[in-house]
Structure 1
């Protein structure tokens, strides 16, 4: 059968499997979220029955909505207002929120409490909102239409249920649910200002109060991941809302919220000023006339550049970026200055004070001037929380890219405008063109009151006139996003920190703590220099390798200290290959742990290697000795040139023959052999030829070596079978004679220890299932399971290695960081080799498995 025929047979099978998997996932979702699914179906059915699903708006539909307490109403509107959408968009959004946000709430609350939360918060919100409508109906600042608006919105009970469920979520999700929920609801209420937005906000506040009652007596963690992270996230949300809020008001036709007046500063032209210019000429009319003639998509985008920059800054603030802090302060300072200058020049006024213009002026000044100044003050008070800087090279690249973009756009404008001068209303002079060139990069609102040079009325000149500024700011945003991804080298990566780390290591450390001395690691130390953590930063994730070094009893403070240090620099802290000794401290912090491998340890006192169970080790040991094989202890720096070249050849042959990338991070290579504290044990045959090599990392207690950990393992392809068993057995016997307590065969990544009789397996999770799948996929490539089975011949004690992390949401970036740490320099050819090995026929020997 040919390849094409095989593919033809496999395709339907694969399709059926995907379909079956999709059906299984759907069934599981329906089973776990009956309230969310039922409510989504109810919205769909009521939308069809009322006609709102296809945009029907008439008296019949409005008769189902809730209104002000001062207006006639019927009892059924307390139900229909919460289940009937008022438009096609409302129906679609309500269904999507029901299937997503409400499903999350349902999993936290359960079926009964979800129904109760929706009913209580929804109905009470209708009465409270309707009462508020009646109370403000007589105010001059509130129009009759707003006071009597009917409310039809199924998202009201959804908002209440989500807010209530946040009380039962974990620390991180509780904060996230509340920040996201109230930021979104508050933004629409304060800027867009439609009545439905206020009803949703009321329901969420009621849900928050209800949640406090539901969570009464529930356990609470005493330590959050980091107050710095929470404050940064909150500040990022505030800055994002000040950017997205005016956009929401613009989308809502100008908005009716108390802060919506600020949106006038981000339009192409000022309608009020245009009307004023019809009655009386002022200098600003020249500018306004030019805006009206040259309006289009480009100027509209340019007008909202400050808002886009605020959203961009919020993205960086969340990760503690100093450049984002500078950007947020600069934009807010510009907006505050614009408002103050506009007011000083008299370009904004509010006639008819009797009709509530004083109140309107106050809201405009608050949203346009006070709010930006307030944001600047808050950012200034928290400046120390934004210390993540890009590397010098990244900053230079950013400056070059932005500078070149400005020069190119400005040059394009000058070139086209100077050639097509006839397209302008009047022939421009060179001074006019230079002035207008600068103006093309500035949002229109910042130019009010400033004279207007000649402008093009059409053709290519108008296109360039409208778009060069937009192109520049797009380049600016993209370059800044790339700048946010760069981080300067961390502290603790110099020789002095390594010397201090080694001194603490000699005081006492775990069997894997020597990994912290490897190149690529930096070191964090406690204030008293008695605790240390070795780590490396990969993709914004601070991967702490092995158990921290700390005095007994200070495990918790050491873990929290490093976590705070990492978070203050915008990194995600993760501890990799830690042992059970540290798990209680992580549990007290509310962190999660997951098995990432098994360390195999031999206790040497009393070791005999006698009995049938040692037969698989004794036989190759005796055979190798009969054939003249010897085991030689040495150090890399003591090796003769001929012997070291043999070891290099063995290692290079292993890598070349397998055509696979050599892994790093917790798996040493040739580079890690050249350390004065690392011992080598060589298997040398009767002819003086090195057949295999192993390296051993020391572990100390009070300055005395108490253990050795196996790291580097290589053998010749033609080496006799059992040579690795020979080396490890000889190492164990020699170490026992020297009084060493522990021999560690190191860790086996993604391996699972054998269960003892009667021991049940751990409860499976999505992550453990993924790791199990990953272990199976990687087995043909790296042979982790085969290596683990090989080590089991020595009847070791199994010590589980864990990865500890604070936030399950960041597992994707954590997994990517771990992968990049293990394969930091893999080339595209090597990745192709991995894939080819994965697709190799079954039965092929895994790469690197001992024989």
Structure 2
């Protein structure tokens, strides 16, 4: 589609030197500060307050200055409320607060505006402080709540930022409104319920206050409905729930066991149970052997093995987002195991709580809820929503998963047995072969599932202890990586490729865009509507379904076709993206609430009005006339009609170009030799007076109601010895020939990352982050692929410009989309070639000069 790179045409026009790196960075920082004054100002306030209070140096702030004593039972002074909201309580808290201010708060400010952001921060912060202090006061006499929780002071700048973020969600678009609320409340709720520190509860109170404030802000504001499939929303919600149940206990463990109402479950994933160890000091039981062994052999390895169930829940949540059936099965298996374990422990009497007068009944109830109720509730949720998770991997990928896991298990067992047999002195008690085999199997099972099953001899030092601690961790690491790789494999659309291609070509002859023929290329798959009257060509890269060019459908079916393909992609766990589409479809995407970005410009010549006269056409007429005087001829043909000698020359010219490049030939929307062999593709050759091939172009057809209406330029190569202007000669000849045949248009295809010239009096659009990045990328890639030079070459023919767009539903997916587009364009690039490309990008824009060759 996008035509040649710079060496197929000529580099022309000097480029202005780029501004210095420092100047560009300072300009960017200044622009960021002007767009986000509240966020930058609040970050500065937090930084100053951290320095003055000693938080950056690790000082205990309340003891040092009396700031932030917000229990309100014994306030330090009138300044307590203010300092609680701007002073962090540690260096880590200060760094996190600065990062949140410059990212999360800046995002909220862009939605709310500066004035409403300040209002939201003040209102939600003060309400959270006084409501939280009131709750602390009411709970101060409750025996089940520790005195530390009711008398703790609060120092957390994130309180106001949480409130502002949730308030901003009320004015956000449908997609971001749901995403902000689900993600923020899930994270805040997780820390409150599991870690349980007082700051976490204040942040949650501020967020709930901001949620209500956002509703007030949004009164009277028209809402755009969210048109994406409810399947996607359900998957996201279920994935969030599963992720919280996995990350919550981890957060509690990191917080030293946690103090939240659900934190009791965290003790189940520790290396050993301190309560049982203490009880065993007074009275021996079989479980004591196991707990003492864990106590003696504790370390990083056993700690990681203990949280394997939680890690598997997080891994499952990742797959649930894209509807993976394997992730659903993992989540069901882990939650069912945890629920069964909790029920078994309760029935067998392994769970006891002492000191009934101190609140044992309350503690018992919380344990039942966290250890038994949470996994059962998640299990029920997964079963109810099971039809939303039907994306399966191909059988070959499943076989690869199980063979990888099986091989890892066998190798780990062999290594364990071999090392432990070589170092028997590491054991306090001489182990028998049976003991070693039993312990080899136990090394893969998290400690939570082994309590009460006794303990075989264990090593206490040396290599034997290292292998003992890390064998299971290595196995589960391999298993997790294999599962994540399985998520990337998806069964493609049904139907034979040949039949699909035939159906697509039938619709293409009925009518398609100037670039729709790309959908016939190898590696492209096809989606068809239920009635078979609409189609979309796409390819899947890294979980992203790249629909290339305009869909094949009538104008009145455009919106339904776009939605249909999007739902099809989402149902298979892919991210749908439309690439290189025209502005005819922008209204439909606007209705869907999608985002669009310009990715290039197509140049089109309307043949009926074509007249190569006047001074403006001299750059075309001069090489055309000179080539004809020198005996150059243009031959319109096809690959099948070529002589073997001529076909060999075309291959040789193309291979010569490829071998001179540091990077391989591009694909995706750029055709190569293989695309030239299609019987529907035409070739226009430049042959000199001696019969030598000097240049070749290929042309893709466009039909309407079965009638040919135009051609689109694709492949362009020229011989190293070709005279200057040979490409102008071929394109001009093609235009004149097509006009004689009565065709309507000639498309010179698209120039990636190009921007059409502004008309007189037309203002440039407001730059966005994405457009600025694409502009930088196009300039940086110019020395490698010459996109700008290509665009200037096409501009010689005074074409009409048609902007090509990329449409996507979710800005968060842009990194994955960019990676997918890169892999699609460079499918055969080696790691070394990618390094070359990165070096070119890091080198920055280069000045390219040159003239016609």
* Global fold match (TM > 0.5): yes
Report the CA distance between 1:748 and its aligned residue: 2.0
Distance in 1 between the 2:422 and 2:813 partners? 54
1:423-434 aligned at under 5 Å gives the runs: 423-434=426-437
Q: Of residues 491, 494, 500 in structure 1, which corresponds to 2:497? A: 494
Change (3 A) 1:19 1:708: closer
Verify: 1:743 aligned to 2:742, yes or no. no
What residue number does 2:219 align with?
216
Distance in 2 between the 1:844 and 1:68 partners? 70
1:530-549 aligned at under 5 Å gives the runs: 530-549=533-552
Q: Of residues 575, 596, 600 in structure 2, which corresponds to 1:597? A: 600
Verify: 1:192 aligned to 2:195, yes or no. yes
Report the CA distance between 1:610 and its aligned residue: 4.0
Distance in 1 between the 2:230 and 2:831 partners? 41
Report the CA distance between 1:501 and its aligned residue: 0.7
Q: Of residues 519, 523, 526 in structure 2, which corresponds to 1:516? A: 519
Report the CA distance between 1:66 and its aligned residue: 4.8
Secondary structure class of the residue paired with 2:598: strand
What residue number does 2:9 align with?
none
Cα shift readout 1:498-536 (whole Å, capped 9, x = no counterpart): 111111111111111111101111111122211111111
What residue number does 1:401 align with?
404
Higher RCO, 1 or 2 (CA under 8 Å, sep at least 6)? 2
Change (3 A) 1:76 1:729: closer
Verify: 1:576 aligned to 2:583, yes or no. no
Secondary structure class of the residue paired with 2:698: strand
Report the CA distance between 1:565 and its aligned residue: 1.8
Q: Is the 8 A contact 1:493 1:521 kept in 2?
A: no
What residue number does 2:471 align with?
468
Q: Of residues 338, 349, 363 in structure 1, which corresponds to 2:352? A: 349
Cα shift readout 1:469-512 (whole Å, capped 9, x = no counterpart): 22222332333334434445555671111111111111111111
Identify unmatched segments of 5+ residues in structure 1: 1-13
Distance in 1 between the 2:34 and 2:732 partners? 55
Aligned length: 835
Secondary structure class of the residue paired with 1:324: helix
Distance in 2 between the 1:221 and 1:290 partners? 60
Distance in 1 between the 2:80 and 2:238 partners? 39
Verify: 1:560 aligned to 2:563, yes or no. yes
What residue number does 2:269 align with?
266
Cα shift readout 1:792-829 (whole Å, capped 9, x = no counterpart): 33332221111222233333332232222222213467
Change (3 A) 1:135 1:644: same
Distance in 1 between the 2:688 and 2:290 partners? 91
Distance in 2 between the 1:68 and 1:836 partners? 56
Distance in 2 between the 1:599 and 1:177 partners? 37
Report the CA distance between 1:183 and its aligned residue: 1.5
Q: Is the 8 A contact 1:66 1:126 kept in 2?
A: no
Distance in 1 between the 2:183 and 2:21 partners? 34
Q: Is the 8 A contact 2:547 2:576 kept in 1?
A: yes
Secondary structure class of the residue paired with 2:701: strand
Which 10-residue stretch deviates more, 833-842 or 329-338?
833-842
Which 10-residue stretch deviates more, 674-683 or 319-328?
319-328
What residue number does 2:782 align with?
779
Distance in 1 between the 2:560 and 2:472 partners? 52
Change (3 A) 1:483 1:696: same
Cα shift readout 1:384-418 (whole Å, capped 9, x = no counterpart): 43344445554444434332332222222222333
Distance in 2 between the 1:92 and 1:694 partners? 58
Q: Of residues 308, 314, 327 in structure 1, which corresponds to 2:317? A: 314
Distance in 1 between the 2:193 and 2:839 partners? 57
Distance in 2 between the 1:834 and 1:458 partners? 49
Report the CA distance between 1:705 and its aligned residue: 1.3
Q: Of residues 633, 641, 646 in structure 1, which corresponds to 2:644? A: 641
Secondary structure class of the residue paired with 1:442: coil
What residue number does 1:134 align with?
137
Distance in 2 between the 1:650 and 1:824 partners? 22
Report the CA distance between 1:355 and its aligned residue: 4.8
What residue number does 1:251 align with?
254
Change (3 A) 1:491 1:138: farther
What residue number does 1:587 align with?
590
Change (3 A) 1:301 1:715: closer
Q: Of residues 756, 761, 764 in structure 2, which corresponds to 1:761? A: 764
Report the CA distance between 1:667 and its aligned residue: 1.6
Secondary structure class of the residue paired with 2:478: helix
TM-score, length-normalised on structure 1?
0.91
Q: Of residues 655, 658, 666 in structure 2, which corresponds to 1:655? A: 658
Cα shift readout 1:712-744 (whole Å, capped 9, x = no counterpart): 223333334444333333333333333322222
Verify: 1:373 aligned to 2:376, yes or no. yes
What residue number does 1:669 align with?
672
Which 10-residue stretch deviates more, 391-400 or 183-192?
391-400
Q: What is the CA RMSD across the aligned residues, in angstroms?
A: 3.1
Change (3 A) 1:273 1:721: closer
Which 10-residue stretch deviates more, 239-248 or 507-516?
239-248
What residue number does 1:8 align with?
none
Secondary structure class of the residue paired with 2:666: coil
What residue number does 1:809 align with?
812
Distance in 1 between the 2:141 and 2:261 partners? 17
Change (3 A) 1:674 1:197: same
Distance in 1 between the 2:835 and 2:425 partners? 59
Which 10-residue stretch deviates more, 36-45 or 545-554?
36-45
What residue number does 1:680 align with?
683
Change (3 A) 1:375 1:62: farther
Secondary structure class of the residue paired with 1:548: coil
Q: Is the 8 A contact 1:492 1:522 kept in 2?
A: no
Verify: 1:120 aligned to 2:126, yes or no. no
Distance in 2 between the 1:81 and 1:94 partners? 13
Distance in 1 between the 2:248 and 2:412 partners? 30
Secondary structure class of the residue paired with 2:156: coil
Distance in 1 between the 2:426 and 2:661 partners? 68
Change (3 A) 1:707 1:251: same
Distance in 2 between the 1:645 and 1:684 partners? 14
Change (3 A) 1:427 1:167: same
Change (3 A) 1:360 1:428: same
Q: Of residues 818, 825, 839 in structure 2, which corresponds to 1:822? A: 825
What residue number does 1:239 align with?
242
Q: Of residues 301, 305, 308 in structure 2, which corresponds to 1:305? A: 308
Change (3 A) 1:425 1:521: same
What residue number does 1:706 align with?
709
Q: Is the 8 A contact 1:491 1:522 kept in 2?
A: no
